[in-house]
Amino acid sequence: MLEFNHKKWIKSVFFVISIITILRSLIHIISPDGGAGSIAGIPLSQYSIEASQTIIFMFALWGISQLIIGLFYIYVLIIKPNLIPIMLLSLTLEYSLRLIIG
């Protein structure tokens, strides 16, 4: 099995990413508009109430998935640090694909 060299700066970067992921998730879950209007700039007032509620609900669901991922990052950081490189690779892939999609 490959052994991850526990470089402090890599663990620190991964810790910061984990905290940011958890904080972003909480904004989506707790914010009255789920961050759809206040952060993403979606003009919720231009949609029907039902459509706006659906958008906010989708952002809350996104927040729940981010929270689960963020907690998994903390688990990896504390319990399974050998997985940090693959987690960073998956993060890089995710954000690269987000940029490509637009």
* Domain residue ranges of the chain, discontinuous segments joined by +: 8-101
Question: Residue-wise pLDDT tens for the chain (102 aa)?
Answer: 555 566 788 899 999 999 999 999 999 999 999 999 999 999 999 999 999 999 999 999 999 999 999 999 999 999 999 999 999 999 999 999 999 998
Cβ-in-10-Å burial (0-12, 13-18, 19+) of 25 comes to buried
Give rounded-to-5 percent helix, strand, coil for the chain. Answer: 75, 0, 25
Handedness of CA 78, 82, 85, 91 (dihedral sign): negative
Instruction: Give pTM, 2 decimals.
Output: 0.84
